[in-house]
Structure 1
Amino acid sequence: MFNPPTLEDLQETRRANEKLVLKALESKPEWVETELAKTTSLALSHLRAALASLLDQGRVRRLPGTGTRAVYGLADPGLADVPATPLTNDAKKVRDYLEGRADSALYMSDQLRMTREDVMAALSLLNAHGMITCTFVGSLVIFRLKETQALGQDGAAAPEKASGRKKAVA
């Protein structure tokens, strides 16, 4: 008798596929989708599902390719891997600034009269709390509060699970 996979089974498979994709992406800066499928031995549909999830998490980005070739690489917004300690005054200032808007670290530093390094440290701390997300526009990284944060929920979001690798913006 056929038992269809449970949601947990599908999520577990997707996470395993994501690990395969991330491992391959770490080996070189740019991958064409078809080469990535061959290297990871994933069916194209499974690869695309893993890539879609990683794109949503901000861990992978689509790069300019030639023609219709999809090219992917690791996304590095430049955030440090810091523990989710209580928010500093700078982090609160950046969080308040990002209410209802999205911006680059450079423009934020100008608007908030802070150094870019201080803005990046504040963004790293906000990321450790799972409060921000980012998108890439070319080589420019645009930061924004996650929707739950922008809707005015408490700034002390549950910290993300600590890991030994650099945290990626979700």
Structure 2
Amino acid sequence: MADIGDYHEQLRRDAHFLCSDKRMDTELVDRLVLQLNRVYPQILSDKEAHRFRDLKVPTKVRLAELLEHLRGKGEEACQEFYRGLHILAENVYARLPSRATRREAADPNGTNAVEVHPQRYVLNDRGSMFFMSCFGFVVGVAMLYYYGESETLRRTGPFLHSSAARLRKGAKDVFISYIEVG
């Protein structure tokens, strides 16, 4: 885990991240205060816990005061805060700046399995039904082109003219000229 005296410094470095992280909401801060109060009353007394759970004070302010209070209590209080954070909010604990520094220090070659979240590019926001209808239309035109005889193509002329009504101007011109020539 960590060296003796390390949690105090680690909490000092992580304090800004913890106070600015949106996942550190009122419920999580209250659960952390309750855990520290119930499990370790020597670290956080009932009176102190009541002060840090006061909903009249904004959560970020209460959290900043709690972190300062724990740093003032010493190494054991800081260690128990990290233990509680690890138990109650694994996703926040794993993303702490001090944890990232340790992972990098433990693996200087960079062979750690880093979780990559590629950006999702949306090329078309119209949905899958739009894609399927376009695909079906193209398949129908291809079938007419490859398997249609000239006689079949003449009979489908009015239908194909009305099908071209919703196409853009350039596509409509190409489609209608193909119908008339075919």
* TM-score when normalising by structure 1: 0.20
TM-score, reference length from structure 2: 0.19
Structure of greater Rg? 2
The structure carrying a bigger helix percent of its residues is 2
The structure that is strand-richer by fraction is 1
